[in-house]
Amino acid sequence: MPKKFDTNPLDPDFPEKAKAAAAGYEAPPKTPFSTAEFPKTPASITEEETRRLSDSDFQAYSYSAPQPVAMYQSANMADMNTASERMVAKTGVPEKWLIGLPYVPFFIGLVAGLILLLVIPKEETKVRFHAAQGLAAHVGILIVTTILGIIGNVADIAELGSFIFSIVTTIMLIVFAIKAWKGKPVHIETVDDLTNWLEEKIGPIKSS
């Protein structure tokens, strides 16, 4: 029996009893439901020493920075805003004159743009673009002027508005013609749809 102040209340003979019980223990027979044992590692298998990479192997796995992608720019779009002295096919006229002609006011540009679309081949994309855009601008101005003229018969202020509109559009067309002749970009966003439609629908007349 342990003493009052004994700090080890366990049976002092417990270690010897545990050893005796372990010595007489037998493992239970294996059944299909027994836990599988991990296979023992053969003594012949040893850890392989880490292989040192050679310089050629190291370069094969080394990272190479991606090459910068060259910026692509369409040749036609880059050339759209340049004016040249090149003679355009079927006209014998320098290119810079043909791209400025459709913007000339007083219906001159309207007739010129229509003729160019009927004569210039599809390959001359720059000349055909300016011809269609100039023609579209003249058509838009003509429609607005006609509407203001009809309203002007009823109200005097509409007649004044039509006069001011004619002056403004005339100056605008002159500026566009000069810019196109110098090769500067001319883009009339309000007539984009009409420009595309005219360029597509009015093709060069095929000679028999």
Block mean pLDDT (10 aa), the chain, length 208: 51 69 60 57 52 58 47 41 75 90 94 95 93 97 91 78 92 95 92 95 82
**CA-CA distances (angstroms) from residue 197 to 138, 148, 189?**
15, 25, 14
pLDDT at residue 206, as a whole number: 79
Tracing tokens 């417990």 back to the chain, one arrives at 14
pLDDT at residue 15, as a whole number: 67
Do the beta carbons of residue 95 and residue 84 sit within 8 Å? yes
pLDDT at residue 64, as a whole number: 52
User: Is this prediction's pTM over 0.85?
Assistant: no
Integer Cα distance of 131 and 91 in angstroms: 14
